[in-house]
Amino acid sequence: MLKWLFRLSCLCILLHISMEKASAQSFIGRYINNFIKDTSDIAKPQFLVYPTLAYSPETSWEIGLSTLQVFYANRDTTNRLSEINGFTFFTLENQYGLWFDQAIYTHEDKWFFLGRTRLQSFPLFYYGIGMDTPSEYTARVDANQILLKQRVLRKVKKDFFIGLELDFQRISRVNFVPADEANPPYLPLGAMGSNNFGVGLGIVYDNRHNVLNVRDGFFSELGFLHYSPHLSTFRFNTLISDTRIFRPVGRNNVLAGQLLGQFSRGDVPFNQLALMGGESMMRGYYTGRFRDNNQIAAQAEMRFLPLPLGFSKRIGASVFGSMATVFDRDFSAQNFVWAGGAGLRFLVFPKKDIFTRVDFALTKEGNGLYIFIGESF
């Protein structure tokens, strides 16, 4: 996989050189020129549509079409930068779907709308529940999924928000395809599908100015969700704690850290257990490689945005490390696993300070390659 990092670093350098020579004579040329050089007024909302080619262990190669809108409320740059990201995709693992993510701040931060939407057919490997699961998956789970998680938060004082948290998750047409027909896996709770609607309270402290690339800031969320049997297939409660800190080191470098906890009690379906792994936390581990009622995870990352290169101000890099564990009721510090790696960055929107990232992560079980716009956290 290291050869991919070398190839992608060469691609970043070639892209930087070629964009200086890009022709602006055609519509496509002008669009690419504006996309790469980002010559728009910084206060003007920017809406982009572009094809994407991404990679992660969960999807293999992924082909899609993305939309990204970034803007300041009332075109006032003293407000925080809001972003709405849409994504439709198809992968070589026969996965497809439509995603939306948003972090919207109104004028003077009076309201904060934070959430994500997932409509997808997304087969994933299932390894079982707990930290003592086998290293090879026991089944492939085919299913259709709807996920709507939204927070409607009101500012009560500077950088401090309180409001409603809503979470709806539907998983249907679920089929566990055994990896070994002779040894079918034990079917967990929710294997027949479920509809679960959680309602609760969210408390957030957030002084970030640019959620896609935070250079100096602090974010902390404490959210409680109750899934009532009147609204859900299963009854359970979930408490989520997510704290992130970002500190500048020198002129262009950022030290970032995150501490994440998810704690559930009740009849929790397998798809809403705490899932370890993915493109954000514990990069290098497959999403859901380990899952259970509870998870504690932490990560740190040093970002060089950009590197002090004489020929380019767009190329950056990062190094990162993380550790996590999942458990039911008995927590053990001996069950933590680690992940770490390094990545490249390319500055796609200079005026709004937004990078695309290529991360290569290592674990004791293997490695993973990730390509996305925006930092992992």
pLDDT at 37 (0 to 100): 63
Amino acid 135: pLDDT:
92
Give the pairing type, strands 111-121 and 236-249: unpaired
Under a CB-based contact definition with an 8 Å cutoff, are residues 352 and 374 in contact?
no
Please state the domain count of the chain.
1
Residue pair 212/374 in contact (Cβ under 8 Å)? The answer is yes
For the chain, which ranges sit under pLDDT 50? 1-15, 17-18, 20, 22-24
pLDDT value of residue 48 = 81
Instruction: Record the pTM.
Output: 0.86
pLDDT at 49: 84
Q: How far, in Å, are 149, 165, 198, 313 from residue 278 at the CA level?
A: 18, 23, 23, 29
**Closest by Cα among 97, 103, 111, 181 to 147:** 97
Short-list 223, 219, 228, CA closest to 239: 223
pLDDT for residue 51? 81
- Integer angstrom CA distances of residue 69 from 33, 49, 331: 18, 9, 42
Reading the block at residue 35, the tokens are: 């996309």
Any idea what the CATH number is for the domain that residue 231 is in? 2.40.160.50
Residue range 252-299, pLDDT digits in tens: 999 999 999 999 999 999 999 999 999 999 999 999 999 999 999 999
Using one digit for the tens of pLDDT, what is the confidence trace for 157-179?
A: 999 999 999 999 999 999 999 99
Parent domain of 283: 2-373
The 3-class secondary structure across 180-223, one letter per residue, is CCCCCCCCCCCCCCEEEEEEEEEEEEECCCECCCCCCEEEEEEE
User: 288 and 238 in contact (C-beta within 8 Å)?
Assistant: no
